[in-house]
Amino acid sequence: MATVAVAGTETTHAPPAIPDFEIVPKKGLPIVGLVLVGLIAAIASNKLWPVEFFHVAFGALWTAFDLFLGFVLGPILARLTIPARIEMTTRLMPKMLLIMPTIVLCTLTAGWQLGRFVGPIFSGHPDHDLIVASYVIVGVMAIVALSVLEPANVAVLVELKKPRPNPEVIQTLMRRFIYTAGITGALQVATLVIMTKLGAT
Amino acid sequence: MTDMKLPPVTQIAVVSFALIVASGIWIVSHLPEHVPLGPSAILIAASALLVVTNVVLLLRVPDFEWGRFFAVAKWALLAYCVIAGMLEWVFIKDGTRGGELAVLTLSLVIFAVHVPLLMGYTVARYPETYD
């Protein structure tokens, strides 16, 4: 229970209320399924437009999410009061658990197919070096996301489901989430530079 | 936060992922030309060894909360198997065969096992109740 000393007297507060939430929002699963079916259909069609649509649309979403989380929402979240932060976390993080892997999968698989159509993924293409540079950036983002960001996301939600969550654990994990979101956000800027340069040539 | 003495599972996983990523970049940056598979095979073997190291280290942690580990890891495994399956399908559809396909498949298997392991560990390392 949180205890705050005020002007020599000790005031005891009830622990912040945690709204009921699902760690994985089941209502979102059919939407994810639908998107993945669309992705399979786009790749199986062997046509340029569907894979270009998936790569550009989901790539834009990925970049926007990372930049927004890392540089706008993250710093705001860090300054909120604990009850507000808990409320925000229980509403935002379960959705992120479905949204981010779906967006990343769509962007990368459609991007690979787009690269086959347009050519830069093949060695010998004039823009091949740029594509390899983007592999390195995406690789670093994947390492950060898979080893720190995603596990922290899941662990925060599981901690909040406990009868008496430990605020210190939540704070540590949220800090980790926000910092890594900032790193991936910064790397997204490099991806933007490469992709727009590719688009321009 | 917790008194449990824990092995450096996350740090080992980071190195394991980095080896897989390096191996993957090595292969795809050579396509469609012939890819020398030696460097990739070494990287994959080292990455697999790190997965085994992590499993052994976790098995040796006394009173590790395996119940909560598996409660998270099994669903993460399902999700990452779907992701790895889709990537495998894309590689096969694009005509990747032979040694390249074998190395890429092994990379995906390591990825699909190690990410859930890390998620399960990150959840289970914090106790259900605190003193």
Distance of CA B68 to the CA centre of its chain: 19
pLDDT tens column, A187-199: 999 999 999 998 8
Chain B residues within 8 A of A124 when measuring between CB atoms: 33
Per-position b or e across A96-120, b if 16+ CB within 10 A of its CB: bbbbbbbbbbbbbbbbbbbbbebeb
Band (A101; pLDDT cuts 50, 70, 90): very high
Percent of chain A at pLDDT > 70 equals 92
pLDDT tens column, B13-22: 999 999 999 9
Token pair for A90: 């229980």
How many whole angstroms separate alpha carbon A124 and alpha carbon B103? 23
ipTM score of complex: 0.88
Q: Are B122 and A152 in contact (CB under 8 A)?
A: yes
Percent of chain B at pLDDT > 70 equals 95
Cα A51 to Cα A55, A64, B43: the distances in Å are: 6, 20, 31
Look at residue B33 and give its three-state secondary structure.
Answer: coil
Q: pLDDT: is A95 or A17 the higher one?
A: A95
Q: pLDDT: is B48 or B31 the higher one?
A: B48
Look at residue B127 and give its three-state secondary structure.
Answer: coil
Nearest-CB residue to B29 (from A39, A44, A132): A132
- Chains A, B: CB contacts within 8 A come to 96
pLDDT tens column, A41-51: 999 999 999 99
Amino acid code (one letter) for B27? I
Task: Report, as an integer, the average pLDDT of A173-185.
Answer: 86
> What sign has the CA pseudo-torsion B5, B10, B16, B18?
negative
Task: Report, as an integer, the average pLDDT of A57-75.
Answer: 91
Chain A residues within 8 A of B25 when measuring between CB atoms: 132, 135-136, 139
Band (A171; pLDDT cuts 50, 70, 90): confident
How many whole angstroms separate alpha carbon B16 and alpha carbon B44? 9
Chain B residues within 8 A of A169 when measuring between CB atoms: 1, 126
Chain B residues within 8 A of A105 when measuring between CB atoms: 83, 86
Statement: residue B97 has pLDDT above 90? no
Task: Report, as an integer, the average pLDDT of A87-104.
Answer: 91
pLDDT tens column, A137-167: 999 999 999 899 899 989 999 999 888 888 8
Task: Flag if B129 and A152 touch (Cβ within 8 Å).
Answer: no
Band (A13; pLDDT cuts 50, 70, 90): low
Is A101 within 8 Å of chain B by CB? yes
Task: Flag if A109 and B1 touch (Cβ within 8 Å).
Answer: no
Selected for mutation to probe chain A from B27, B81, B86, B104 (highest A CB count within 10 Å) is B86
Task: Flag if B129 and A164 touch (Cβ within 8 Å).
Answer: yes
Token pair for A7: 């002007």
Task: Report, as an integer, the average pLDDT of A103-116.
Answer: 93
**Cβ count near A198 (within 10 Å):** 15
Amino acid code (one letter) for A101? P
pTM for the model stands at 0.87
Which residues make Cβ contacts (< 8 Å) with residue A120, sequence separation at least 6? A127, A128, A130, A131, A198
Statement: residue A15 has pLDDT above 80? no
Per-position b or e across A36-70, b if 16+ CB within 10 A of its CB: beebeebbeeeeeebbbebbbebbebbbebbbebb
Could you please report the per-residue DSSP string of A125-181?
STTHHHHHHHHHHHHHHHHHIIIIIHHHHHHHHHHHTSSS--HHHHHHHHHHHHHHH
Q: Are B104 and B27 in contact (CB under 8 A)?
A: yes
Is A167 within 8 Å of chain B by CB? no
Amino acid code (one letter) for B66? W
Which pLDDT value is given to residue B123? Answer: 93
pLDDT tens column, B41-95: 999 999 999 999 999 999 999 989 999 999 999 999 999 999 999 999 999 998 8
Chain A residues within 8 A of B117 when measuring between CB atoms: none
Which pLDDT value is given to residue B31? Answer: 78
Which pLDDT value is given to residue A7? Answer: 39
Task: Flag if A148 and B10 touch (Cβ within 8 Å).
Answer: yes
Residue with tokens 């020398």, as numbered in its chain:
B36
Backbone angles phi, psi at A80, to 5 degrees: -75, 160
Domain extents for chain B?
9-124
Nearest-CB residue to A43 (from B10, B24, B90): B90
* Residues facing B73 on adjacent strands: none
Which pLDDT value is given to residue B4? Answer: 62
Band (A3; pLDDT cuts 50, 70, 90): very low
Chain B residues within 8 A of A142 when measuring between CB atoms: 17, 21
Q: Dihedral, CA atoms, A52, A55, A58, A62, nearest 10 degrees? A: -150
Cis link prior to B32 (omega < 30° from 0)?
Answer: yes
